[in-house]
Amino acid sequence: MKRIIIIALCLNIFNAKATETEKLLKTKPDKIVVYTQGAQVHRTSSINLVAGQNTIIFTGLESCINTAAIQASGNGNFIIADIQHQVYYPEVVKAKLNGDVRYKKMIKNITDSIQEVNYLIEDIRAKSDALVTEKSVLLNYSLYKGQNKKDSMAYLKDGLSYLREKLFNINSEFIKLKRDKEKLEYKIRTLNERITTINNELSNQNQGEDVEVVDYRIIINIIADQAIAASVNLNYYITNAGWTPSYDLRAISNDQNVKLTYKAQIYQQSGIDWNGVKLVLSTANPNRSYNIPNLSPWYLGYTNQYKKTNTKKLSEVNAQPASMDEKSVVNYDNYSSSAGSTMDDAKDASSYTTVSENVIETEYEIKLNYNIPSDGKTHFAAILVKDLKTLYRYKAIPKLNNSVYLTAVLPDWEDAITMSGEASIYYDGSYIGRTSLAPGGTEDTIQLSLGIDKNIAIKRQKIKDKCSQKLLEENIVHQYTYEITIKNSRSNKIEIDIEDQLPLTYDKNVTIERKEISGAKYDEVTGILKWRSTIQAKDSKKLSIVYQVKAPKTMPVVIN
């Protein structure tokens, strides 16, 4: 009897030691590197290892782990023998998954019904496609397009009568099919709701007092020569996360540089909230292919020539212009302080960002703890703030309207950004509009419209006394004269860009001659006239445009 007791005690001691080698670790992420698509989660834990086999289980992990991108390392005299990913179903969850036979049968019957309804919907789609084809054939028939060789009104009348009858029938069939499809889709929604109800009943039937959820785990098998205190590092890639850049362009006044605020719109739906974590934002995309492409044989082909319209990218913001003499009551600008205030300005989160660049990517390490819940919503984080070299100019196109716009010209804007994104523009604390910023473009200068300045007036008018019309044998010579007047009511001088144009012609019988353009730069291709003028405070300036159009008497010329 004593021998049996001793053996039992030895077995208990052995089992106790065996269970000590398996340890569950509930950890918090130390650092998360967020890519434009996906994120790399880093976790670290200190643990006491026993001599021999050790099984370390990291529990409570994200549900969207890429099992092919799990890595483990550590500090200590041990060997990492194996790494596994496991989805652990607690007993309550297993009972729900197994389910009751009766419930399973009900769900199968409903699923079969849904499949049959889907077949009926697919049949309706096929019939609808056939009707679309039939309608297209009818409408493209040569008789209705007037391409029939038989020039007979009777043929046309009969054809139109037949077309009307067929289109009426086709449209009626469309309506009937649409009604049948809506009924079937409603039936599918009802069946899905029934499945949800059955699952809820099954859950209530099997659920006990304690609610357990599916646990996503990573198991690390470790071999240690002796019992030691060690540190185990785990990192893995998850898919349901990422970030996109956005920008703020803030101009306080026309004597200070525009400030560019670089922001990140972060989202994640990994199943685990990120509470108080250190974030690193990377411009890399692990899902992008880095395989070097190969050139295939290139065979010349033949194509019809066409004329391509020359388009020019506009960097100006098409926003509702704000009046320059209307001040906002609330100043939203974070970069100016109120006069006489004794309190320090609030620090921006971008003050805690470290930027590191290499040949392939840029990383922004934010030295603040962030909370990003697993809700799939966008959460903003400020990355950095930069001053952009800014040239303020006024711009006007008086032929289109009499408004004078204040613009901010940014010659070095591409050096400040690494990724494409939308930018919100603010001037003097007021929102102006939006524009798009994209590196790697052909334009190294961007021009932002900041609003209309009512203190500067411009007017373009036709001088009728200096317009004439002369008859020369077979031709008529028209002379047109316009005058542009700019008045600066401000107390300081301004620099203004003005645009106008001369007409162009494709007809060799028509000639256009410039007589006076007041020193404007003229583009022979587009006909655009450009002036850059400096106007002193409380002063005005006039520009003249005079040109002649010579055309045959039989060809009327219309000039706006």
Domain residue limits, the chain: 18-30+44-89+214-238, 105-206, 241-288+314-335+346-452, 456-552
Residue 322: alpha-carbon gap to chain centroid? 26
For residue 117 the two structure tokens come to 């309804």
Average pLDDT value for the chain? 79
Q: Could you report the per-residue pLDDT of 374-425, keeping only the tens digit for each?
A: 998 999 888 888 888 888 889 999 999 999 999 888 887 777 777 888 888 8
Per residue in 522-539, pLDDT (tens digit) is 999 999 999 999 999 999
440: exposed, middle or buried (C-beta count within 10 Å: 0-12, 13-18, 19+)? exposed
pLDDT at 320 over 50: no
Q: Name the class of domain 456-552.
A: mainly beta
The confidence band for 336, taking pLDDT boundaries of 50, 70 and 90, is very low
Task: Summarize pLDDT for 185-194 with one digit per residue, the tens.
Answer: 888 888 888 8
- 428: phi then psi, degrees, rounded to nearest 5: 55, 40
pLDDT in tens, 254-289: 778 888 888 889 999 998 999 988 899 998 888 776
Measured from the Cβ of residue 25, the count of other Cβ atoms closer than 10 Å reads 18
**Where does 327-474 show beta strands of DSSP type E?**
353-357, 362-372, 379-388, 391-396, 405-410, 421-427, 430-437, 446-452, 456-462, 468-472
Among candidates 487, 453, 456, which has minimal Cα distance to 326? Answer: 453
174: pLDDT strictly greater than 70: yes
